[in-house]
Amino acid sequence: MNIYLIGFMGTGKTTVGKILAEKLGRKFYDLDELIERKAGKSIRDIFIDDGEEHFRKIETEVLKEVAGGKGYIIATGGGLLTTEGNYEVMKESGVIITLAASAESIYERLKGDESRPLLMVENVIDEIKRLMFERAPLYIKADYIVDTSDVSPDEVAAEIMEFLDEL
Ligand SMILES: Nc1ncnc2c1ncn2[C@@H]1O[C@H](COP(=O)(O)OP(=O)(O)OP(=O)(O)O)[C@@H](O)[C@H]1O
Ligand SMILES: O=C(O)C1=C[C@@H](O)[C@@H](O)[C@H](O)C1
Ligand SMILES: [Mg+2]
């Protein structure tokens, strides 16, 4: 089974995914990185040149490519579940784990980072809260949810490993 890490931007999917892959001796894939490789440009430039709809199309393509693998650790992008059908692709090929965090900790982690086009707005904290509220029904569809607000990436990885042991 694959392990899919989902959740809002800055909750630590990429960071924790790498730790988990190393500890479990599994292959790691980051969908955002695969999208950039496929498009030949950064996520920021895909949004600027081609728009979000085109980004979402490539996102679904790369998800379907990795979903065919076995035992992969897959860090997804924060908006993966906003495209219909992507939840089913993950559910049929693995376990889905949501990383959660408070809007304040996400703001602190991401402030000054210009690689996330959806947060390039005037009032970042309000936009984080708005998007989080809108997406909450999607993130709670996971098999397990970890709150990462006040714990280190290593501790988050350890909690996920405990859950996987119990499965
Ligand atoms: N548990 C944590 N505690 C403190 N900082 C963290 C934690 N997890 C991640 N970070 C930091 O937050 C930033 C964002 O982490 P990361 O890129 O892993 O998030 P992400 O969920 O993959 O975001 P995206 O959806 O945009 O890809 C990084 O600087 C990372 O070091
Ligand atoms: O939450 C989102 O919609 C996004 C999250 C990032 O991981 C990237 O996939 C991109 O910046 C969009
Ligand atoms: Mg990431």
Per-residue pLDDT tens over the stretch 18-56: 999 999 999 999 999 999 999 999 999 999 999 999 999
How much is the pTM?
0.98
Nearest CA among 57, 80, 69, 54 for reference residue 1: 69
**CA–CA–CA angle 52, 2, 34 (5° rounding):** 35
The total of structural domains in the chain comes to 1
CA of residue 59 to ligand 2 center, whole Å: 10
Predicted confidence at residue 88, as pLDDT, reads 98
- Residue 115 CA to ligand 1 center (angstroms) comes to 12
165 phi and psi angles, rounded to 5 deg: -60, -40
Contact by Cβ (8 Å): 104, 32: no
Does the Cβ of 6 fall within 6 Å of ligand 2? no
Does the structure show a pLDDT above 90 at 128?
yes
Instruction: Write the pLDDT tens digit of every residue in 59-91.
Output: 999 999 999 999 999 999 999 999 999 999 999
Residue 12 reports pLDDT greater than 90: yes
DSSP labels, 54-75? HHHHHHHHHHHHHHTSSS-EEE
Nearest to 48 by CA among 98, 100, 120, 103: 120
At 154, list the tokens: 């290593």
User: 111-121: per-residue pLDDT in tens?
Assistant: 989 999 999 99
Output the CA 32–ligand 3 centroid distance in Å: 6
Q: Which domain holds residue 92?
A: 2-166
Backbone angles phi, psi at 41, to 5 degrees: -155, 170
Burial of residue 110 (CB within 10 Å: 0-12, 13-18, 19+) is middle
Annotated binding site for Mg(2+): 14
Residues comprising the binding site for ATP? 10-15, 116
Q: Please give all residues whose CB falls under 5 A of ion ligand 3, grouped by chain where several chains appear.
A: 13-14
Within the chain, residue ranges assigned H as helices are 13-24, 31-39, 43-50, 52-67, 86-91, 103-110, 124-139, 153-166
What does the pLDDT read at residue 112? 87
Q: What is the CATH number of the domain that holds 97?
A: 3.40.50.300
